A and B are shown apart, each in its own frame.
Chain A
Amino acid sequence: MVDLWDGLVQAFWLVVTLDAALVEISARSLRVTLSALAIASVIAMPLAAFLAVKRFRYRRAVIALLNALMGLPPVVVGLLVYILLSRSGPFGVLGLLFTPTAMVIAQVTIIVPLVASIAHQSLRDLWHEYHDLLISMNVSQGQKMRTLLWDARRALLTAALAGFGRAIGEVGAIMIVGGNIDHATRVLTTAIALETGKGDFALALALGFVLIGLAIAVNLAIHSLSRTEREGRW
């Protein structure tokens, strides 16, 4: 209980004094995760639309695979990315290990299945609704996908935010591929792990509260930026 209270108090001071280290790692957390989310969305959304619209032989297998990959432990992803990016690995020459880029790659790998899966569910429902009309209008495959993506954008936002939530709170993979290097790859979650390791529970908790606050802020910001809560509710 004492730790919890200390954590809250410390979180409060860290935030009101705009602690330089806190701002730095928070900004990095956001930067890494938002980049990962943007890239993951660009991959996952069209994939989801494709799976909704197109019937092909291995469609069910692909969907099952996506659902299974959702449960992939981040540490495993981290390890795989690590092995691939290590200097002795196949992509070692790129020198990406222990950089924010490596963290982005790991997070993209983790959230693409999640975002694609959630997006696919809502797109599939919408496709059910639109199917006859779009077939009747004889629109192209690409137009079908674009129409679904646009008209389901609110549901897709939810899918993206789920991805964001998973990515920003993730520690196992980015610890491995980022290395938690101070001023280079340290983000909120790895800092929390570090402070917990040092037994500084109050600071760890404080960072945890900041993380929660940040996640809420981003959710609200994205919602208001896209004006989903104000325009056209029906």
Chain B
Amino acid sequence: MMKRVLAAVAVVWAAGVAQAEDVMRMAVTTSFHNSGLADVLLPEISDDLGLEVQLLVVGTGQALKLGEAGDVDAILVHAKAAEEAFVEAGYGTHRREIMYNDFVVIGPAGDPAGVGEAESAAGALQRIEGAKADFVSRGDDSGTHKKELSLWRAAGLEPERFGAWYKAVGAGMGAALNTASGMGGYVLSDRASWLNFGNKGGLALLYAGDPALFNQYAYIPVNPARHGHVKAELAEKLEGWLVSPRAKALIDGYEIGGEGLFVFNAQ
């Protein structure tokens, strides 16, 4: 009996054997991954550089943590202040801006708070607060969450004091959108996650366009001086590719439902 079971295990085991190209690990944010851009870029990177980039899809907070611990070779996130602190503390070698996309305000199509008529991002948020309409916050210390908090403050409001209408779910973008869809609430989302989201229900895009909503992505290689094992060379190779004209064409040309998502702005 044991022998047969072991044989079965051996067969299954042999079924998956790894490939032998260069491999590096990069932590990226959920919102970047949900955009689908990675699915376009990774095969090209593999073709051009013979480099397999393994993505760890996590919140910005955890991405930075992974970089600090040396568990990844590079990170691609969007939380400028935190990124600068990360480089400052010596965890990353430098911060390289690659591209940006934007955040949008999503809410019930009926728009009870009148967010659609707002003149600015701050105005949109003030309307939600004024109407005490249900608002779903990521509440997970992610880049999107940090952005949301800074937008509330820019609108002269303090999220810590909000009542029960402000719901911090402590979850990823998809889960937050699912929650908003379920309760007909408002939510701040990056455009890519929204476009790719499959469970829109009664939700609609109500406000976008304020430059305050722009969302800058930056690439940071983890510092080999701190973690000797990181694949600094591969990280450098990848950086070179990410700022190349080839990457520019792919990033600017990436569309969902006829809409462009990202704007390449690497220097």
Contacts and interface: CB of A to CB of B under 8 A. Distances in A.
Contacts of A200: 198-199
A12 to B, nearest CB: 19
Contact of B16 (A27, A95, A199, A226): A27
Interface stretch (A47-55, A68-76, A176-184): A176-184
B215 interface: no
B69 A225 contact: no
Contacts of B177: 199
Interface residues of B, number: 38
Nearest to A38: B9
B6 A221 contact: no
B172 interface: yes
B15 to A, nearest CB: 5
A98 B71 contact: yes
Interface centre among A88, A181, A198, A201 (most CB of B within 10 A): A198
Contact of A179 (B34, B56, B178, B227): B56
A124 interface: no
B12 interface: yes
Contact of B54 (A28, A30, A153, A184): A184
Interface centre among B8, B55, B198, B200 (most CB of A within 10 A): B198
B178 A199 contact: yes
Contacts of A121: none
Interface in B13-61: 13, 15-16, 18, 25, 30, 34, 52, 54-58
Interface string B194-205: 001111100000
Contacts, number: 95
A143 interface: no
B55 A87 contact: no
Given A30-B12, A181-B56, A198-B196, A95 B172 contact: no
A153 B6 CA distance: 15
Contact of B15 (A27, A86, A198): A27
B160 to A, nearest CB: 27
A71 to B, nearest CB: 23
B249 interface: no
B5 interface: yes
Contact of B12 (A27, A194, A227): A27
A201 B199 contact: yes
A194 B69 CA distance: 24
Interface string A29-51: 01100110010000000000000
Interface of B: 1, 4-6, 8-9, 12-13, 15-16, 18, 25, 30, 34, 52, 54-58, 68-71, 172-175, 177-178, 181, 196-200, 227, 229
Given A30-B12, A197-B34, A198-B174, 14 more contacts: A31-B12, A86-B69, A86-B70, A98-B54, A98-B71, A182-B55, A183-B52, A196-B175, A197-B174, A199-B200, A201-B198, A225-B1, A225-B8, A226-B4
